[in-house]
Structure 1
Amino acid sequence: MTALRKDFYTRSTDNVAKDLLGKILVRRLGDELLGGIIVETEAYFGADDPSSRAFHGKKQYNSVMFGEPGHLFIYNVHRYWMLNFIAHDNVVGGILIRAIEPTMGMEIMKENRPVKRDRDLTSGPGKLTLALDVNRSLNGQAATDESCTLFVQNNKYEFEMETSHRIGVTKDLPEHFRFYVKNNRFVSK
């Protein structure tokens, strides 16, 4: 399995967020592979984005956002870990992975996050981090490194993309920076 290279992430944050749709998110837990098709993302920027973790400048908790593209930025919101990939062509930017369509390791994901309906397993950012056992220990790791236990790989997947305002933010930019696969049942509601 080959992880996407740094140059994929070294582009405008919103373009990377769009291009992550349809790719495969892979989580390696020992000998097991968990993951699925990325079906929903959100782009976050720097000082001009009031919803971004980087809005108030570089701090200890968000310093990864100002670092090299292709690294993981994991932070906590309401007791749930949020999974972000750093992507920018200048100073700062990150992409929140909001949902995946599970394709591998579903039994382990269900042990990590018991659900009645499969569609509820990874249809939201906190849900998918629970199912994939993502936590702060991954923060700052290079997802472009083959030894990383969480990375994205290419995939051939036909879909139509929809956009909207980002979910759960109190102050949003006027542009649409939430991107998702149209009519996919794993997209968050």
Structure 2
Amino acid sequence: MPGALPPPFYDRPAEQVARELLGTRIVSEVDGMRCSGEIVEVEAYVGPHDDASHAAERVGLTVRNAAMFGPPGRAYIYRIYGIHWCLNVVTGAEGYPAAVLIRAARPLEGVEVASERRGGRPLPALMRGPGNLARALGVDGALNGHSLDRSPLWIVPGVPLADEEVERGPRIGITRAAEWPLRFWIRGSTWISR
């Protein structure tokens, strides 16, 4: 898509890409319905030495995590609890499994469509939390491995954020390496997951 972040943007360490994804806009055009949101919260999963990663050394390459080993700028989408889809962006060199989980976004376009996909949920809960975000955007496992520079799912630049506009802290919802400060969010945002 014209204006989408190109694959080389993602060909850097997950921690760096995570920070710079804040303030960008994720856009979906699924079943002819367009939705978008400003990315406000992310988590980095930085490679095989990261015990919280789906591709940690103890796990290695599997059918489920294969997209993480692919080219940078691809979607890595997986299901949790057998219910919710989660959207990640693959980062770093091909063959090195690292990714950024998109945890939350501030809805911009297609709010009615997103609400319908979420069972009538009101703002600001539409895109708060990774499973809710994916559902609101119409994202599921069919887009696993999709290049995020083209339809039906892509990311476009936003206004760069100054360091004082960004918070950083431990990742949430995990038990291994949870204390690593690899969660980033826009300071003061009411749209983050917590």
Asked if Structure 1 and Structure 2 have the same fold, meaning a TM-score greater than 0.5 normalized by the shorter chain, the answer is: yes
- Gap regions ≥5 residues in structure 2: none
- What's the CA shift string for 1:100-143, capped at 9, x where partnerless? 00000000001101345301111110111111111000001111
1:107 to 103, 107, 112: 112
Residues of 2 paired with 1:54 and 1:22: CA distance?
Answer: 27
Match of 2:130 in 1: 125
Out of 129, 151, 171, the position equivalent to 1:166 is 171
Are residues 1:87 and 2:91 paired?
yes
RMSD (CA atoms): 1.6
Which one of the candidate residues 42, 65, 69 is aligned to 1:66?
Answer: 69
Structure 1 partner of 2:102: 97
CA distance in structure 2 between the aligned counterparts of 1:108 and 1:52, rounded to whole angstroms:
32
% identical aligned pairs: 34
Q: For 1:29 and 1:59, locate their aligned partners in 2 and report how far apart those are by CA, in whole Å.
A: 28
Structure 1 position 12, deviation (Å):
0.8
Q: Is the 8 A contact 2:172 2:178 kept in 1?
A: no
User: In the aligned structure 2, how far is the partner of 1:49 from the partner of 1:118?
Assistant: 34
Say which SS state the counterpart of residue 175 (structure 1) adopts.
Answer: coil
Q: Check 1:141–1:165 CA distance in 2 against 1; reply closer, same or farther (3 A cut).
A: same
Q: Give runs of ≥4 in structure 1 deviating > 4 Å.
A: none
* 8 Å Cα contact 1:45-1:54 kept in structure 2: no
Q: Give the number of equivalent residue pairs.
A: 187
What TM-score, normalized to structure 2? 0.91
2: CA distance, partners of 1:158 / 1:40:
13
